[in-house]
Structures are given as C-alpha cells and as structure tokens.
C-alpha cells in the first residue's frame, strides 16, 4: 500500500446530479486535472460537523493545500431556505470553522447557479 500520497485540493459539494458535470468541468479547468479529493453530501456544508470530519481526514492523509466549498442554487436539502444569502452565510461559517483548525488551508467559496455559472463568494 502506498503510504505517501498527496493531492493539492479537496472539493466539497452537494450530491445533486444536476451539477456534477459543471463541477467536473470546473475542476478540470481550474485544478488542471490534478488529483483532488471529492467530498459530496446533500446540502454540501449544511451538515458542517460531518464535512469538518471529512476535511480533517483529507488534510491528514493527503495534505491538501486548497479547499473548495461549493453550494448550489435550488438545493433540495435547504428547501425553501435555498437562497443565495443563506448559502453565502453557511459557506462563510464553514470557512471560519474549518480555518480555526486548519489555518494554513486556503478555502475558496462558490455558489453554483442552475446554468452552470460559478459565483465566487468573498
């Protein structure tokens, strides 16, 4: 078993099949097809404790340097609360909590629209 395997980044997104092609294409273009961990959970960071556990594992085992958190428009896990404002709040909260434990990790936030457009959240 290979013991020293690393990758540059991890991507966290929702499981929604409507967005998987957009995310794959985005990762190919932006990560230049470099290996990355992919973490998918309904609502992405909505269940933040589970996501933090997965990010901890990715950071420990694969020494990731970048983390991409992606929420999307019309998320069923959020139901009526699936608004850009709510997703932005949750993404920022996730960045803050993950940064507390992983201060050297660069965390990038995105909101993915139904048409495949990625909107960076600052």
CATH code: domain of residue 105: 3.40.1050.10
- Count the domains in the chain: 1
Structure tokens at 98: 């993950």
Average pLDDT of the chain, as a whole number = 96
10 Å CB burial of residue 14 (0-12, 13-18, 19+) is buried
Domain membership of residue 13 as a residue range: 9-121
Residue 29 has a pLDDT of 95
pLDDT score for 3: 62
Give domain status of residue 101, yes or no: yes
Judge whether 73 lies within some domain. Answer: yes
Q: How confident is the model at residue 2 (pLDDT cuts 50, 70, 90)?
A: low
In a domain, 46, yes or no: yes
DSSP calls for 85-108:
HHHHHHHHHHHHHHHHH-TT-EEE
pLDDT in tens, 40-55: 999 999 999 999 999 9
Q: Is the pLDDT of residue 114 over 90?
A: yes
Is 3 within the bounds of a domain? no
| pLDDT (average), residues 68-83 | 97
Q: Given this model, what pLDDT does residue 5 score?
A: 86
């Amino acid at each position: 078993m290979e013991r020293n395997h690393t990758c540059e980044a991890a991507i966290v997104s929702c499981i929604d099949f409507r967005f998987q092609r957009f995310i794959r294409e985005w990762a190919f273009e932006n990560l230049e097809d470099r290996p990355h961990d992919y973490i998918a959970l309904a609502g992405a960071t909505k269940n933040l404790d589970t996501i933090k556990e997965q990010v901890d594992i990715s950071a420990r085992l694969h020494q990731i340097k970048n983390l991409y958190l992606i929420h999307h428009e019309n998320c069923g896990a959020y139901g009526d609360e699936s608004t850009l404002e709510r997703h932005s709040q949750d993404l920022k909260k996730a960045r803050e909590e993950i940064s507390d434990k992983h201060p050297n990790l660069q965390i990038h936030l995105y909101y993915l629209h139904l048409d495949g457009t990625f909107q960076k959240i600052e």
